[in-house]
Chain A
Amino acid sequence: MKKVFQPASLLLLGAFALLTTACTCTKPKPAPPPEVKVAPTPAQTPVPVKQEEVKAVPVEKPAEPDIEALNKAGYLKDVFFDYDKFAVRADQRDGLAVNAEWLKKYDKVKIRVEGHCDERGTAQYNMALGEKRASAVKDYLASLGIDAGRIETVSYGKEKPFVKGHNEEAWAQNRRGHFVITAK
């Protein structure tokens, strides 16, 4: 019995996968997909290629998946911090300046900055440290002319590490201000 069904279900899966990829292509349409060319991330290149296919498929889905897609595309670069520090590092300023430019261009976009910490500090203090980091990023963007009202902050302390591991490489990745687009 199982052997009979398996190829069939595989075919179905394949068909479904095709459909879903097609659907994903539709998503950029109402969003700011043209913006794609402007933004500096490498993730954009495949998007324009698929735009032709897009026309073939009727567009239904509104805002929500677009934001998801925008976040996946990674237009906004995360910021990294030194151990037990919340000051924006000099080497992180260029990235923030690029983020600010993007935010100026797409001025309907609202964002959330998440403050994260590495695992070494105490959980409770890190909660406060993450708040400081998120807030430092917000303040820096505001100093570059971004309306602070577009930026909300949240701290996750050391609760949501990006990278597993107990070494400086992992820790450095986990001390970050992470950008999430919440509205466009």
Chain B
Amino acid sequence: MKSPANGPLLARLPFAAAVLCSLAVLGLPALTGNGQTKPQDQVAPPPPKDVSLVISQEGARRIPLAIPPAIAPLNPELQGRLVDPFHRTLTSDLGSMATFILADPSLFPKGARPTVTREQGDAWIASGAQFLLDTQIQLSETQAQPGTGQVIAVAQLVDLRTLKVILSKSYTGTPAAVRKIAHTLANDLARQFTGQPGPFLSKIAFVSDRDGGQTKEIYAMDWDGEGQRRLTGHRSLSLAPDFSYDGSKIAYQSFNRGPSGIFVIASDGGAAKQVPLTTSLNASPSFSPDGKQIAFCGSVKGNPEIFTVNADGSYLKRLTDSPAIDSTPRWSPNGREIAFTSNRQGGPQIYLMDAEGANVRRITFAGTWNDEASFSPKGSQLAFSCRNEGDFQICVLDLLSGRTFQITNGGANENPTWSPDGSKIAWEVRRGDSSQIAVANPDGSGMRVITALGNNTSPTWSRNLD
């Protein structure tokens, strides 16, 4: 057995430690394998210079977790409809976390469930696992009323060394909600080990050209790429979506009424409402955290500036005043600052200002083109599209230390957006002529491409955890 019995959970590379320490700032405890609370590691002191580098998470200590398929009544139909999607979702969610490493299913013991005796526990430990997530699925469907049944999923998390049940939960929902049940369970497990839920119930909105006819529509999907659905039906160019912080609305730019306008649509679709504006251009909407205002790139007399406006179109206010290009505003999570891009000192670089437009300061210096800033949920880091030469890559700037990390290294990469828990970043990656949305850890490891149909760009991650 290779797993470290009592080793620190979070002995990681400095960057990963920095990411995880943002949890510590929240005062959230992390559980060790014994269920004890352990203090987080200190952030390693950053090297002095503003250096771009790629750090992989190889070598980080992860908790070995066995997730056997749920025990369910023997029934092929039930298997395909419930048990398989449940298992796929659960392993996809938990396998994406830097916290866990999933034990190899080919080494799982036969039987040994429920895991009660020392022998049974050891049989699982032999597969490399330290914890076992044991689940059962039942469908309470009456023969008289098929399709009206409820799925009942029961889950137990077993510490295989002590045989103690650490977590025991039961979930009920319609058969159609079986993936949601799995996401909810994954969130509960994440909360158990990291102190906060994962991003598993959050959504990603994006732009897709899959409908053809040179149109682009706003789409949304679950974080793992499941459940992709079209929200707009403008048959026009609709671009640059941004989720409101409560997850209820999406603001975007669209040409569907001729000139470019900013529109707001409910995040589950419906009728879009245009924000009445006297400016032109009207690109890059970004919600204020309280949802009352939208920052955007507008233009009066052909000069793009950053504006804010109430969602009903009142109180239009210009924040920047420069003959240069000012674009791509992004409101900070605490509401007090706005990041934006400007070429006022030459090439496009990222600047920060107060939400009232004062105190403008440049925050990116490396490379020739930096744009599309995205604040981490705690506001301490900024992901952005960075380029020195060649294609764009994704960079992450730690605002406290001033250090910048480049987290991608292949293809063209743009438009990063953070998951609401800060554990992931999504962005668009172009390889050849195909642009798709990828998700990875904030250090670039564990990347998966989650779209395939048409070209899919400009992801925006919802900011609420459920």
* Contact size range, B: 35 or more
| Nearest opposing residue in chain B for A134, CB measure | B302
A124 surroundings in chain B (CB, below 8 A): 240, 283-284, 297, 327-328, 341, 371-372
Contact A132 B325 (CB under 8 A): yes
A159 surroundings in chain B (CB, below 8 A): 216, 237, 239
Contact flags B272-306 to A (C-beta < 8 A → 1, else 0)? 00000000110110000000000001010111100
- Least CB distance from B333 to A in Å reads 20
**B375 contacts the other chain (CB 8 A):** no
A155 to B260 alpha-carbon distance, docked (Å): 8
A135 surroundings in chain B (CB, below 8 A): 299, 301-303
A16 to B79 alpha-carbon distance, docked (Å): 59
**B326 contacts the other chain (CB 8 A):** yes
Within 8 A of B (CB), among A54-93: 84
**B252 contacts the other chain (CB 8 A):** no
Contact B414 A123 (CB under 8 A): yes
Contact B327 A128 (CB under 8 A): yes
**B458 contacts the other chain (CB 8 A):** yes
Contact B325 A129 (CB under 8 A): yes
**B460 contacts the other chain (CB 8 A):** no
Interface of chain A, helix or strand or loop or mixed? helix
**B29 contacts the other chain (CB 8 A):** no
| Nearest opposing residue in chain A for B283, CB measure | A127
B237 surroundings in chain A (CB, below 8 A): 156, 159-160
B253 surroundings in chain A (CB, below 8 A): 127
Contact B327 A123 (CB under 8 A): no
Q: How many residues of A contact B (CB 8 A)?
A: 23
**B147 contacts the other chain (CB 8 A):** no
Contact A128 B302 (CB under 8 A): no
A159 to B280 alpha-carbon distance, docked (Å): 17
- Least CB distance from A43 to B in Å reads 24
- Least CB distance from A140 to B in Å reads 11
Contact A132 B303 (CB under 8 A): yes
- Least CB distance from A83 to B in Å reads 11
A122 surroundings in chain B (CB, below 8 A): 328, 341, 348, 369, 371-372, 385, 392, 414-415
Contact A127 B372 (CB under 8 A): no
Contact A125 B328 (CB under 8 A): yes
Within 8 A of B (CB), among A112-161: 121-125, 127-129, 131-132, 134-136, 138-139, 153-157, 159-160
A138 to B302 alpha-carbon distance, docked (Å): 9
B369 surroundings in chain A (CB, below 8 A): 84, 121-122, 125
A58 to B415 alpha-carbon distance, docked (Å): 56
B216 surroundings in chain A (CB, below 8 A): 159
A98 to B233 alpha-carbon distance, docked (Å): 41
Within 8 A of A (CB), among B229-284: 237, 239-240, 253, 255, 259-260, 280-281, 283-284
Contact A128 B326 (CB under 8 A): yes
| Nearest opposing residue in chain A for B329, CB measure | A124
**B227 contacts the other chain (CB 8 A):** no
**B457 contacts the other chain (CB 8 A):** yes
A160 surroundings in chain B (CB, below 8 A): 214, 237
Which of A125, A139, A156 interacts with B327 by CB under 8 Å?
A125
B297 surroundings in chain A (CB, below 8 A): 124, 127-128
A128 to B302 alpha-carbon distance, docked (Å): 9
Given A122-B372, A127-B297, A155 and B239 contact (CB-CB distance below 8 Å) = no
**B46 contacts the other chain (CB 8 A):** no
Contact B371 A132 (CB under 8 A): no
| Nearest opposing residue in chain B for A86, CB measure | B325
A123 to B457 alpha-carbon distance, docked (Å): 10
A129 to B280 alpha-carbon distance, docked (Å): 13
Given A123-B457, A159-B216, A128 and B283 contact (CB-CB distance below 8 Å) = yes
A154 to B261 alpha-carbon distance, docked (Å): 11
A84 to B369 alpha-carbon distance, docked (Å): 10
Contact A131 B240 (CB under 8 A): no
Between A131, A139, A156, the greatest number of chain B beta carbons within 10 A of the residue's beta carbon is seen for: A131
A139 to B259 alpha-carbon distance, docked (Å): 19
- Least CB distance from A20 to B in Å reads 23
A157 surroundings in chain B (CB, below 8 A): 283
A172 to B144 alpha-carbon distance, docked (Å): 69
Contact A153 B325 (CB under 8 A): no
Between B304, B328, B347, B415, the greatest number of chain A beta carbons within 10 A of the residue's beta carbon is seen for: B304
| Nearest opposing residue in chain B for A130, CB measure | B281
| Nearest opposing residue in chain A for B327, CB measure | A128
B347 surroundings in chain A (CB, below 8 A): 84
- Least CB distance from A111 to B in Å reads 15
Which of B240, B259, B326 interacts with A123 by CB under 8 Å?
B240
| Nearest opposing residue in chain B for A155, CB measure | B281
Which of B259, B327, B414 interacts with A127 by CB under 8 Å?
B327
A138 to B237 alpha-carbon distance, docked (Å): 24
A139 surroundings in chain B (CB, below 8 A): 302
Between A121, A124, A134, the greatest number of chain B beta carbons within 10 A of the residue's beta carbon is seen for: A124
- Least CB distance from A157 to B in Å reads 8
23 examples of A-B residue contacts, CB within 8 angstroms: A121-B348, A121-B369, A122-B328, A123-B240, A124-B328, A125-B325, A125-B328, A125-B341, A127-B239, A127-B240, A127-B284, A127-B327, A128-B283, A131-B281, A131-B299, A132-B325, A135-B301, A153-B302, A154-B259, A155-B260, A155-B283, A156-B255, A159-B216
Chain B interface residues (CB < 8 Å from chain A): 214, 216, 237, 239-240, 253, 255, 259-260, 280-281, 283-284, 297, 299, 301-304, 325-328, 341, 343, 347-348, 369, 371-372, 385, 392, 414-415, 457-458
Q: What 6 pairs across the A-B complex have the smallest Cβ distances?
A: A135-B302, A128-B304, A128-B327, A122-B371, A127-B283, A124-B328
